[in-house]
Amino acid sequence: MPGQAPGRVLAMRSRMRTAAILLLLAGLSLPVASARAEAGPAAAEQPPRTEPARACGRGSTPAVVGGRLRCLRAGTRCDARYEADYRRYRFTCAKGVLRRR
């Protein structure tokens, strides 16, 4: 770059440095993008679970009560507003305590 003005040389170096950084970043993002594409759209966005997934202790029943995962067991506390959910799993809420139906 002999024969060019010093300010022009610095500007060219700055542009080359910027271009190199952009190429480097583009190269780094390709493996991430391809990994997401291989995983599919389900991996990026999963719907909330609506069925019990965790194991409950012996004598308990896994259930979804009020939209949350719970382990139901006779004799434990309950809330009457979730009676329909308890009935689905053959329980009833009587005086704040779960009973088997």
Question: Model pTM?
Answer: 0.48
**pLDDT tens-place string over residues 80-95:** 999 999 999 999 999 9
Closest CA to 44 of 32, 53, 30, 54: 32
Q: For residue 55, is pLDDT > 60?
A: yes
Contact 98, 92 (CB under 8 A): yes
Please indicate whether residue 1 or residue 7 has the higher confidence score (pLDDT): 7
**pLDDT tens-place string over residues 19-38:** 777 776 677 665 655 555 56
Please indicate whether residue 90 or residue 55 has the higher confidence score (pLDDT): 90
Q: How far apart are CA 25 and CA 2, in angstroms?
A: 31
93 Cβ contact list (under 8 Å, min separation 6): 78, 79, 80, 82, 83, 86, 99
pLDDT band per the 50, 70, 90 thresholds, residue 11 = confident
